[in-house]
Chain A
């Protein structure tokens, strides 16, 4: 017998089924004798209707076969679920499968002789045996601690200081709890919480706030990096990032690049929402009796912008750069004036401490600084459904104008339609009162309603809610009688007996808590910001994510959305700040390590890239500057050096003098006469001969047509010429480049200006250059610029799904940008390690 194995009956049956499903029938020729006559060897004429009918039949059969063979190949029910709903545990735990498919799943599991589990086995059973006496004691003590903590929480007691101190051991902690509870029963310790959930308000008045430790079980894990309120939820579903003292969701575990593009942007195809727990952004409340002093302080903090009447009197959100007291730009921040004597400031944690220190230093002058990092939390929502999703879970107990406005606009899909100042603020019910998120009746507002929304801004109402949110006592009060899930479930059960069916547990005035909530539009970021007291975040978050098509996101998605809407993302796109510059260095070391790990033959040899420039400087035979990052120091030295050379020589600039090598003057300083000398000067900086101070860049944050470049004389200063060139920061403008050709930019791509002589050529490219076959020619040999034409770097760039072409965000020399702006707005972009230049158009980004 040959090697072929005989198939059993079942296999043969299955095989036949597949063959049957895949057979495609065709229409037989009509068997009438007339039809037979029509056929000849050379074919014959057909009638149109018959021909059509026959093709239609064939198409239908083809579709039928596709459909049938698809159903024949599918074996298990969980394979038919969409990717998003697939669970690895679904193959043995039926609870992971949607209810309507569960019966089928059970049948299939029984058929394949699987063990069926209906849930997880109790954990205590697992660790019953195999413990030594010591281990058993330790395990029991740990359990005891948790029990005691739960008990003291339900008695509305605060955790005793000894129980939370990091240097105490387990036994001491247990003792502390026991003592506390005992004393309470004797009446010595008074109740210090107003709810059984352990929620409290942790605000620092002129001092930093104390971290709320959450559950005592997880206390030790938050020593270095504190958790956001939704940490446990997020950690199960996202990759986390440990930075700036927080653990922040970085990106969901499931791939979501296209999803974020589709849902997160405000486009007509978005039908969902993306949400981020943005509580890591630090909140400060500034209050001062003397309103002039506060105005002055804010003006100093925001470089005279945040105190303008638009923000101060009309309650618009200010979104812009924050400066320290020396006038150095720190990073982005947001500001909202509650009244003329109070304002709310939200700043990034990387420079929170320095700003906080700066503000508290003025404490004696009557300025009160509330550190609300762990008292006010926030959710950022983007996408068309964000307002709708919020309206499905938030209910107000009292009739308020703001809430009715919120209800009215809950179906509006586009955030950009609403006026710049759109704030909804009201007292909301516990979202857990609703057993299910429920849609509000659909209202379709007209444009005149939007005008009404603008004119009928309920300022006093909103201010009063903002005052409530910013007041520690009011926040504490909002937690009073906050209920456990068990309480709510028992109330819901009691409702089952009543005749009227209702989705929500009725609100009892007086005993049920209300909390202040502020939902406001951030016009520049095109996102909704929800501000709530810290311990109300989690109930809202849970309910919000029960709504269909509401997805969570991480910082990576924020970065992506910022890129797609040409905004700058902190810190990656802020190289002119300290945090951004350090981020650039950090990314550099990662890139370099990755490059070094590869074998020599497989990695790009950066020092051997041909035809990069017209003439190559001696130091960089291949790629110029550092190939692993945006080399801002190189750009600064190059541009400053060129500026000096242009102002001190009448002739055209040359790369180098072939007759001599570089020269030094009598003070042993490098003489600067040629472009190569400037590049060598950068080499000196790398070697440590000149120590630059300060950051290499400074941002020009005004429209480029109004920028007045200061004429710098590098020789005038106290220091040597070389030291001045190395230390003088380069003014740059933030730009967004859009490719006019094929290809896409990558991170840290190089941006060049177009040399005068090649401008005609590149203009012809920008119009159209096509080959004989009618298609565009991308392969032609382009003229190559000089090293001295390098004007900037791209901080992030990739293929833009919305534009359908390559787009990058970058920074270019402001002086050069102004020169370009008057003539054309073309630049050339080249990726690192390649010699292909692509034409791009730039527009300025203002922050």
Chain B
């Protein structure tokens, strides 16, 4: 599924991203980005793969094949691959491989992932903030949403 943006909006978005890097937003600096929310479930852990932007493509393929062969052991029907942000394209190309080359049934779902960032709070003017490392400054969490894809590759 391709989400089409109209050219004006895309232009606007590009300008936004150019004018300020990721770590400098207009209200507060991002100190750390938290991972997405994962809830413990043995079956899910054994059948879900999260694709990172730096995951090698071939490694992802090998891992999915391995998970597919272990599916009956966990009583699951499909392997889930998740990717968000920069990794969406890679996730989809992994899905394409299994659909086209291996002839598997692949279901693509789009989703919105809510994430949390640590943002620096306003410092008291009395404190000397210059010689403090980022670790020692107080932060608050702020929500950010990213779009992602979930792929189900059936056995």
Contacts and interface: CB of A to CB of B under 8 A. Distances in A.
B143 A420 contact: no
Nearest to B48: A268
Nearest to B140: A454
Contact of B137 (A268, A310, A442, A450): A310
A454 B39 CA distance: 18
Given A445-B37, A450-B37, A419 B141 contact: yes
A846 B133 contact: yes
A524 B32 CA distance: 12
Nearest to A548: B42
B116 to A, nearest CB: 6
Interface stretch (A19-27, A410-418, A513-521, A713-721): A410-418
B132 A308 contact: yes
Contacts of A417: 34-38, 116
Contacts, number: 77
A404 interface: no
Contacts of B46: 271
Interface residues of A, number: 34
B45 interface: yes
A703 interface: yes
Nearest to A449: B37
A384 B37 CA distance: 12
Nearest to B135: A846
Contact of A314 (B42, B135, B138): B138
B136 interface: yes
A309 B40 contact: no
A308 B136 contact: yes
Contact of B133 (A316, A450, A702): A702
A310 B50 contact: no
Given A271-B45, A416-B35, A388 B40 contact: yes
Q: Is the interface of A mostly helix, strand, loop or mixed?
A: loop
A444 B124 contact: no
Nearest to A703: B133
A265 to B, nearest CB: 12
A44 B40 CA distance: 57
A454 B119 CA distance: 13
Nearest to B139: A420
Interface residues of B, number: 28
A447 B124 contact: no
A305 interface: yes
Contacts of A416: 34-35
Interface string B121-136: 0001001000011011
Nearest to B42: A271
A268 B135 contact: no
Nearest to B137: A310
Contacts of A384: 38, 40, 45
A604 interface: no
A446 interface: yes
B30 interface: no
Nearest to B130: A706
A414 B141 contact: no
Interface string A681-716: 000000000000000000000110000000000000
Contact of A447 (B37, B50, B133): B37
A420 B114 CA distance: 18
A703 B132 CA distance: 10
Interface string B42-58: 10011010100000000
Contacts of B116: 417, 447, 450-451
25 contacts: A268-B45, A268-B48, A268-B50, A271-B42, A308-B132, A308-B136, A309-B138, A310-B136, A384-B45, A385-B40, A412-B37, A412-B39, A413-B39, A417-B35, A446-B37, A446-B114, A447-B116, A447-B143, A448-B143, A450-B37, A450-B116, A451-B141, A451-B143, A703-B133, A846-B135
3 smallest A-B Cβ distances: which pairs?
Answer: A447-B114, A413-B38, A271-B45
Interface of B: 34-40, 42, 45-46, 48, 50, 114-116, 118, 124, 127, 132-133, 135-141, 143
